[in-house]
Amino acid sequence: MEVKQRELGGEKEEEEHSKVEIWKYMFGFVELASGRKVYAQTPLCKRLLKSGQNNMAAFILPESSPVMLAPWHGLSARIQGNIRNPVFEEVYGEDLWSFGAANPDHSKLFNEAMACDARVVVPAVIESCINSDLPHVVSVAQEYDRIENVGGDMFDYVPKADVVIIKWVLHDWEDDECIRILKKCREAIPEDKGKVIIIEAVIDEEDEKEDSKLTNVRLMLDMVMMAHTNTGKERTLKEWVYVLDDGP
């Protein structure tokens, strides 16, 4: 495959390369119980089966949807300074969240992607909670015992609780916006024993090796933030410390 790739040029090469990037995780030499090695789907493919436990199929659907792919085409122009607006807004005239409010189908696709990750992470840390998000998201959220759905704007108000868990939200916003959100989280918890738990990636500039799988994931997420949010980014520890020192 790599030989074929070198023979190709330009866009074709890029397309082929991105397929190889996916294939190399989905297909490989797998050892059967008999000890025989075959070229087949790797165990990772199970995560794409809708029937599979902890499946992540819904997670890759929005990223490969035409709505989410379009902003990627403007990313180079944005980085070169040829587009003034964030790329998502340049394409759709509004940010991702307003677009979701006006386009329920897209919102459903996005929310299901978030939910398939949250279903793995949240039960590991919590049994009952308030689920707080924008009104159009909460209004279609699945009902569960011991989960209260509360719609609202986190820049105005975060529901009162002993602990606020904020996952994959701050990376959608620039520092000043994060600080405003964190101040609302601080107001939501008891002053003496409340906690704000932040679940986000941390880019480690110093020690990351280029071949580490997680480095690629973190840097990929940073690109996703650039393509799909107005001001979001993944942060290094130093950048998180800045946000947290000025936040709660």
The catalytic site residues sit at 171, 200, 234
Q: Which residue, chain included where needed, has tokens 């991105």?
A: 18
Stretch that binds ligand SAM, among 12-20, 28-36, 75-83, 130-138 (CB under 6 A): 130-138
27 interacts with ligand SAM by CB under 6 A: no
Judged by CB under 6 A, the residue of 23, 25, 144, 155 near ligand SAM is 155
Least distance to ligand SAM from the beta carbon of 94, Å? 12
133 interacts with ligand SAM by CB under 6 A: yes
Stretch that binds ligand SAM, among 33-41, 72-80, 83-91, 163-171 (CB under 6 A): 163-171
Q: Among residues 167, 173, 165, which one has the least CA distance to residue 235?
A: 173
114 interacts with ligand SAM by CB under 6 A: yes
Tokens of residue 153, six digits? 């704007």
Footprint (CB under 6 A) of ligand SAM, residues 88-107: 97
Judge whether 42 and 26 are in contact, CB under 8 Å.
yes
Q: Which residue is nearest to ligand SAM (CB)?
A: 114
Number of residues that bind ligand SAM (CB under 6 A): 14
